[in-house]
Amino acid sequence: MRLTQILLRQHIGKHIKKHWRVQGKKIPRESSALQSLKDKNIPIYEPNEILEETRTFEKVDVIGIIPKQIAFDSTHPNWHSRVCHTYKDENVLLEGLNQAKCLTRTVELQQGLPDKIIIKNSSKELDSRVKKIIYNSHLFDSEQVKLPKLKDPERPAWNFPRLLGISESRRNVLMVAKLLQLIESLSGPQLTKQRFVLNDLQFAFPFEKSGDLIQFLIKGDTLITSDKPLQPITQDAGQDVQLPNLYPIKDTVTLNMENIYEMKNVYPVQKAISKHHPHTVFIHYNATEVKNIYEEEVTDDQILGRSLLKTFTVAATYAKEQFGEDVKVLPKPVTMQAVQSDGKFFHFGVLQLNTLDLDSEDGPKNIWYQTDKMSLFESCSYVSGKPTLVGYNNDVIKHLLALYDNV
């Protein structure tokens, strides 16, 4: 047996540690000096009061030093103890369209778009131009960026080679911009003169509903504004139609619960401009960004709900800007059109906003018209090295033309 084992049989390491800990905090022993000085009225100072230099430091701006980032916790200037339910670009609602209807107090009176919007036939020439636009935005654009990772649910650990190509967001931007340019070129200067096209606008609509604080914070990717507001569609305020029943869930389910927020109505286009009335909002749908908070795939119904919620936000912020912060039932309904697209599918909707009193039991409701989700084409890709477009559907361009021409 080795000597060390015997020597270390009594392990005194922890005793030494303890000793250091105890001795490290020296407790001064009470002496009677303090008391006797006090008795003789001799002033007593703490040593630091005399020795320590008292100096206030001025803050100096040093170039190149990055200021400390604001922490997103209770020290944040916009922190509130009351929770706000927010809806943002990347969110979808659990119950999709029905939940959106409950949140915005909206009902559907009929299937399809209002009869006022007349869908005309498209010419062969127009179709060929649209096909060129599809080729151009989906295949022939030369952007090469990393695309989202491919995953196979059957074998989740398998790493596919990373693909490079046109990003989803760019495809959306190109499709909408090019289709819009084509439509405007065909509509003639008399009509286009009355319209204006704005990109990347931020809208915010805060409100309270059943004691919950809710705020919609959304982006209008492209907004067509016009010099006159769109005419209302119907006199029927939907009083006979019931809102969908979501029981047992609450209508704020799957909204983000946040403490850091700023409640402010934002309609970004200024009132002083003649063309500030919203006409049509184009909403981009980006499959990698828009997600459920649980891992399920986004359903078609949720996409339709997204259209309604975003259109409502644009219309409601405009209505508040137009009729004042406290407006409840609007003196004149606000009508607004919406197109949601991921470059392949298109969803068209029209909203007539009658009221911003979203909490009341009865009274007018908002009216929503919509088409089904329609595909512009079945597929557009390189099929074994050949650019191929399959299943072009000209209904989409017909609807777009009809919406643009609507006044």
Partner 1 sequence: MSIIRLKALRSLGPSRRCFSVGVQQEDEYVPVAQYPKILDTSYEAKQARKKEAKWKEIKDVKTVEEKQIKLNMPRYYGFKCYVFQEDKVPYNNLNLAQHITKTHLIPTRTLPEFYNDISVDGHLVAIKSQIEEALLIEYEGYKRNNTNLTEKQIEDALSSSIVKQLNRILINNLVEDNSHLLDTQVDYDARIEAFWYAGGMNPPLNVKKYRTGVEWRKHTEDDPVDRAIHYSGSPSVQLRNELPLPPIIPHSEASNPDFKVPFFKYDPRTVGTTTTHKHAANIAGYWPGEKYQFGLMSYHKRGHMLERNFGDEADAKEALHRQGILSSFGWLSAQANMLGFTTFNEITYPMVTQTVITDGQKFSFYLYQMNTILMNGDNYKENPLKNVCWAIPETELFEEIKDGKLVGFNDEVLKSLLKFYKNVPQERLGVNLRPYLAGEKIIANYSDDDKRNWLEREYKYLVSNRPRFKLDYEVYHWEKIYKIDHKTRPIEARRRPFELFVDPWKRTLDDRQPNYIPRKLRPDLPRHKGRYAKEYFP
- Answer for which of 174, 213, 224, 237 binds partner 1 (CB under 8 A) is 174
- Answer for which of 143, 296, 300, 372 binds partner 1 (CB under 8 A) is 143
Q: How many residues bind partner 1 (CB under 8 A)?
A: 44
DSSP 1-35: --HHHHHTSS--HHHHHHHHHHHHS--PPP-SHHH
Query: Tell me, what DSSP letter sits at residue 298?
Result: P
Stretch that binds partner 1, among 31-39, 83-91, 115-123, 173-181 (CB under 8 A): 173-181
Amino acid present at 216: F
User: CB of residue 384 vs partner 1: minimum separation in angstroms?
Assistant: 5
Closest CA to 225 of 169, 282, 283: 282
Q: Distance between CA atoms of 320 and 9, rounded to whole angstroms?
A: 82
Distances from the Cα of 76 to the Cαs of 69, 122, 255, 265, in angstroms? 10, 55, 21, 21
| Contact in structure between 402 and 369 (CB atoms under 8 Å) | no
The residue written with tokens 């030494």 in the block is 16
- Answer for which of 36, 78, 110, 199 binds partner 1 (CB under 8 A) is 199
Q: Does 304 bind partner 1 (CB under 8 A)?
A: no
First to last CA, the chain: 101
Mutual orientation of helices 395-405 and 168-187 as an angle, nearest 10°?
60
User: CB of residue 156 vs partner 1: minimum separation in angstroms?
Assistant: 22
**Geometric angle at alpha carbon 146, from 154 and 135, rounded to 5°:** 95
Site for partner 1 in 149-168 (CB under 8 A): 164
- Answer for which of 84, 93, 134, 201 binds partner 1 (CB under 8 A) is 201
Query: Tell me, what DSSP letter sits at residue 373?
Result: -
Site for partner 1 in 340-399 (CB under 8 A): 382, 384-387
Q: Based on CB atoms, which residue is closest to partner 1, 387 or 391?
A: 387
| Contact in structure between 241 and 107 (CB atoms under 8 Å) | yes
Q: Does 303 bind partner 1 (CB under 8 A)?
A: no
- Answer for which of 36, 74, 78, 136 binds partner 1 (CB under 8 A) is 136
Q: Does 80 bind partner 1 (CB under 8 A)?
A: no
Q: Does 231 bind partner 1 (CB under 8 A)?
A: no
Q: Does 196 bind partner 1 (CB under 8 A)?
A: yes
Q: Based on CB atoms, which residue is closest to partner 1, 203 or 312?
A: 203
User: CB of residue 205 vs partner 1: minimum separation in angstroms?
Assistant: 15
Can you name the residues that pair with 165 across neighbouring β-strands?
Answer: 145
Q: Does 272 bind partner 1 (CB under 8 A)?
A: yes
For residues 112, 134, 199, 89, the Cα torsion angle rounded to the nearest 10 degrees is 60
Binding site for partner 1 (CB under 8 A): 132, 135-136, 139-144, 164, 170, 173-174, 177-178, 181, 184-186, 188-189, 192-193, 196-202, 266, 268-270, 272-276, 382, 384-387
